[in-house]
Amino acid sequence: MKTKIYAPFSIAIAVLSAILVLLGYFFENGFLNQTRSLLLENAVILAAIALIMGVINMVRVHWMQLRERKGNTLYHLTFFFGLIITLLIGGWFGITNPTSYGLYDTIVIPVEASLMAVMAISLTYLLTKIINRRKDFFSAVFLISVLVGLLISAPFLGQEIPFLSAGNSVVKSLLHLISNGAMRGILIGVALGSIATGLRLILGADRPYGG
Amino acid sequence: MSINNLIGLAFLFFFILMLVAVYFLLEKRKGSILREIPAFYYLQRAIGLSVEDGKRIHLALGWGNLFEEPFSSGLIGLNILERLTRVALFSDKPPMATSGNGGLMLLSQDTIRHSYRSFGLAVPHQIYESQMIGVTPFSYAIATQPIIKDEKVSVDILLGHFNSELGLILDASERQNNLSIGGSENLTAQAIFYGISNFPLIGEEVYATGAYMGSNRMHKASIQVQDYFRWGIILFILMGIVLKVLGIL
């Protein structure tokens, strides 16, 4: 296997930066706090550069697909039209100008809201398929929980169901108690997993930067 | 230093200590320490089958930001990407990684590059293999749909930060009769995965992916330590309940 010459350097930089940021978080020390701020500021700049790289990648992909007549041509043209308009308006007026915000408020938000509506329908349809996909006890529990959750969260056909959706019903309180407990349990597992992932990075065991 | 910071630091120190100890203990231990999770069994099978069939594996890394906690599940996705690339190195259709964040895209490109270089192979142009396809959650979800449809994808692996827009990605996967496996640190996404995907990874199962996919010993050690800490937290909570009932707390 080939090993890159600069791999140990990238590992050292990543591990050292992670340790300094972590120590700066716990200790109130002038040097550590300054170093932490400096590293985070530089990371923000790098993230912005990464976003520009991402946009360049999008342009390349759409351009190549347009040339190769791959996929729907209309999608690619819409992408270029949107990108050019956004760059022109953002570049001319500045990104904090109401016109630039208007572009976002009048196009992006309504489109995403309509997608949300489409998704609600497709989610309901797909959820019914769980009966065919997994015929087990937990799927039945999941489906019943969804139905009961829907019934207690809003009145059914304009009518509040007694013992379910009405005010502080016992069923409602009991279900909130169970669901909150379950959510916390899952989140404890997720938090431990996140800590372990972070520590593997700090110890240099995980190297997503290709080191 | 505040008491909260002190507790946090002690917790981390103890975690690292346990991690290192279990890492060395695992060297002597024979046999598997992992319980069976069907999702990983089917994932390994699906990877092999898709390579044989000349189909593509789509890895959705989500749109987790580099500076926020949700990024951790994206890192797990990157770990899988390395494994996928190595398996499908000689396949006609290498795996495709999509992300909704520039940082994730660069890291996925680097991961693919690293996999090729480690086998002494020339690194291909990664225009299609690693893409940032949208910068908002819904634009990302919508942009995955033509990829799933047009790129001859047979398996969709979704590991990263998602929210309710995940429904649109899984809808596209379902329409193509693809196998979908995924998990996220987000609770809404976990509920959608459970309801719609073929093999959902719930809670900390996402973070076990590396260990199950044949990664290094450190992954297995970290799973073991997570288990110890989980039991510790359960005992701590139970103790708190008992003390509260007794009126001591």
Q: Tell which of A86, A123, A146, A201 to mutate to test the B interface (max B CBs under 10 Å).
A: A123
CA distance B51 to chain A (A): 23
> Pairing state of beta strands B130-132 and B96-99?
parallel
Residue B49 has a pLDDT of 83
pLDDT beyond 90 at B46: no
pLDDT band at B36 (very low <50, low <70, confident <90, very high): confident
DSSP secondary structure string for all residues of B80-135: HHHHHHHHTTTSSS--EEEESSHHHHHHHHHHHHHHHHHTTPPPPP-TTTEEE--S
The model's pTM is 0.88
pLDDT beyond 60 at A163: yes
Residue A139 has a pLDDT of 85
pLDDT beyond 70 at A85: yes
Residue B14 has a pLDDT of 93
pLDDT beyond 70 at B47: yes
pLDDT beyond 60 at A177: yes
Q: Which tops the pLDDT comparison, B54 or A194?
A: A194
Among A10-14, A142-146, A167-171, B110-114, where is mean pLDDT lowest?
A: A167-171
B31 and chain A in contact, CB less than 8 A: no
Closest CA to B134 of A73, A94, A62, A98: A62
> Could B204 and A70 be called an inter-chain contact, meaning their C-beta atoms sit closer than 8 Å?
no
Residue B16 has a pLDDT of 92
Residue B193 has a pLDDT of 92
Alpha carbons B83 and A39: distance in angstroms, whole number: 31
> Could A197 and B66 be called an inter-chain contact, meaning their C-beta atoms sit closer than 8 Å?
no
- Please name the residue ranges forming H helices in chain A: 7-26, 30-67, 73-93, 98-103, 109-128, 130-133, 137-153, 170-202
Residue A211 has a pLDDT of 55
Dump pLDDT digits (tens) for A38-66.
999 998 999 999 999 999 999 999 999 89
Taking CB atoms and an 8 Å cutoff, what residues of chain A touch B38? none
Residue of B nearest to A179 (CA): B187
Which A residues, 182 through 201, put their C-beta within 8 Å of a C-beta on chain B? 183, 185-190, 192-201
> Could B119 and A1 be called an inter-chain contact, meaning their C-beta atoms sit closer than 8 Å?
yes
Alpha-carbon distance values, B200 to B115, B177, B179 (Å): 27, 16, 11
> Could B120 and A197 be called an inter-chain contact, meaning their C-beta atoms sit closer than 8 Å?
no
Q: What is the mean pLDDT of residues B102-114?
A: 89
Give burial (CB, 10 Å; 0-12/13-18/19+) of B98: buried
Q: What would the two tokens of residue A71 be?
A: 């996929």
A13 and chain B in contact, CB less than 8 A: no
Taking CB atoms and an 8 Å cutoff, what residues of chain B touch A146? 195
Strand, helix or coil at A90? Answer: helix
Alpha carbons B238 and A72: distance in angstroms, whole number: 58
**How much is the mean pLDDT over chain B?**
87
> Which of A53, A55, A108 minimises the CB distance to B106?
A53
Q: Tell which of A40, A194, A202 to mutate to test the B interface (max B CBs under 10 Å).
A: A194
> Could B226 and A57 be called an inter-chain contact, meaning their C-beta atoms sit closer than 8 Å?
no
> Could B146 and A71 be called an inter-chain contact, meaning their C-beta atoms sit closer than 8 Å?
yes
A70 and chain B in contact, CB less than 8 A: yes
Q: Is the ipTM of this complex over 0.90?
A: no
Residue A192 has a pLDDT of 93
Give burial (CB, 10 Å; 0-12/13-18/19+) of A196: buried
Residue of A nearest to B83 (CA): A208
Q: What is the mean pLDDT of residues B100-118?
A: 88
Taking CB atoms and an 8 Å cutoff, what residues of chain B touch A133? 198
> Could A129 and B194 be called an inter-chain contact, meaning their C-beta atoms sit closer than 8 Å?
no
Residue B248 has a pLDDT of 86
Residue of B nearest to A127 (CA): B195
Q: What is the mean pLDDT of residues B140-156?
A: 90
Question: What are the two backbone dihedrals, phi and then psi, of residue B160, each rounded to the nearest 5 degrees?
Answer: 165, -165
pLDDT band at A166 (very low <50, low <70, confident <90, very high): low
B178 and chain A in contact, CB less than 8 A: no
Dump pLDDT digits (tens) for A29-45.
888 889 999 999 998 99
Residue A1 has a pLDDT of 47
**How much is the mean pLDDT over chain A?**
84
CA distance A170 to chain B (A): 22
Residue A126 · residue B196 · CB < 8 Å: yes
Alpha carbons A188 and A202: distance in angstroms, whole number: 21
